[in-house]
Amino acid sequence: MITFENVTKIYQGGEQEVTALDNVNLQIEQGDIYGVIGFSGAGKSSLIRCVNLLERLTHGKVTVNNQDLLQLSPKELREAKRNIGMIFQHFNLLDSKTVFTNVAMPLILMKKPKEEVKNRVDELLDFVGLRDKADNYPDQLSGGQKQRVGIARALATQPSVLLCDEATSALDPQTTNAILNLLKKINQEYNITILIITHEMGVIREICDKVAVLEQGRIVESGSVFDVFARPKTAVARNFVRSVMHDDIPESVYQLIRAQEETNQIYRIVFFGESTGDPLLSQIAKRFHVEVNVLFGSITELQEIPFGNLIIQFKGEVKEINRVIMYINQQNVTIKEVLEDVG
């Protein structure tokens, strides 16, 4: 478990102060895959680096498994840090050492017996699918393979927490998916809590259970990935969701929406899970005296669960349309007027 309590990080850059984190509160439960998303400069690196004290916070408190690292003795701190693995965008491998030695390094530093080191490294290289590369050097590996080495090294000390600092940003989409699947496997098989920072909503969609949106050092929105995708509350979260949902409404539909006089007839309906398949619209057409037009529709997958998005026009009497809206609200879907995001 990781908690951030009123965390502020201020950098003193010459004469100017930069507030990278501004009173951040966040709770990451044991076993979560928690994503923090934000644009460049939002404070993501500062946030993740405060967890293992690569950065010192200016105010507030960060705890990992109820321990405040700042309160520990040097010896206790070394032990606590072994419990926190980290992987990096640019892998941070030792180029002059083999894959085996890179993965073994944390154990060598702990002065573990040779045989124990060998067994553990072999096991880890098997786990990440690189047993045959043990004697290779990092520059003989692809980006995805380098990140696998980084992951194996991070797991060497059997941490309960894994910090991922833009771990897939330097990789192509296919390799990104393979690495994300590996992270999912680590979470499931070892029950390791994973904190990921990223600027890519695709990463959040693929593996995170929960997400926080960081903007100018503040958490502006947080919750389950489903909730944030279905009901983003802030403009920044809406933009991130749109970047992967491919649900942009065509301009021709916008024109139709802008032109209409009755303003309460066009709605966005968001479905997810099993309700995506429900014949909701045909039920509406049967039960109510309204005409139903689908103006636009898209469907995508969120963690292998279908997530649908429809723009619907209802034609009929206002009273009847209101009954339809009430009916839809009772189903497991989200409905809202489109006009507010037409701009």
Ligand X SMILES: Nc1ncnc2c1ncn2[C@@H]1O[C@H](COP(=O)(O)OP(=O)(O)OP(=O)(O)O)[C@@H](O)[C@H]1O
Residues 6+ apart with CB under 8 A from 69: 52, 53, 62, 63, 77, 80, 81
Specify whether the CB–CB gap between 30 and 66 falls below 8 A. no
Torsion of CA 340, 301, 297, 319, to 10 degrees: -60
Least distance to ligand X, CB of residue 217, Å:
7
Least distance to ligand X, CB of residue 82, Å:
25
H-helix segments, the chain: 44-51, 74-82, 99-109, 114-127, 143-155, 173-190, 201-207, 225-230, 235-245, 251-259, 280-287, 318-330
The nearer residue to ligand X, 11 or 123, going by C-beta atoms, is 11
Chain contacts with ligand X (rule: CB under 6 A): 11, 13, 18, 20, 38, 40-46, 199
The nearer residue to ligand X, 11 or 250, going by C-beta atoms, is 11
Least distance to ligand X, CB of residue 155, Å:
24
Least distance to ligand X, CB of residue 198, Å:
9
The nearer residue to ligand X, 45 or 52, going by C-beta atoms, is 45
Which residue type occupies 45? S
What the block records as the tokens of 198 is 């990223």
Least distance to ligand X, CB of residue 52, Å:
15
Of 213, 218, 258, nearest to 239 by C-alpha is 213
Least distance to ligand X, CB of residue 239, Å:
15
Torsion of CA 218, 220, 224, 228, to 10 degrees: -140
The nearer residue to ligand X, 44 or 146, going by C-beta atoms, is 44
- Tracing tokens 């005409």 back to the chain, one arrives at 291
The nearer residue to ligand X, 50 or 162, going by C-beta atoms, is 50
The nearer residue to ligand X, 13 or 343, going by C-beta atoms, is 13
> What three-state secondary structure class fits 9?
strand
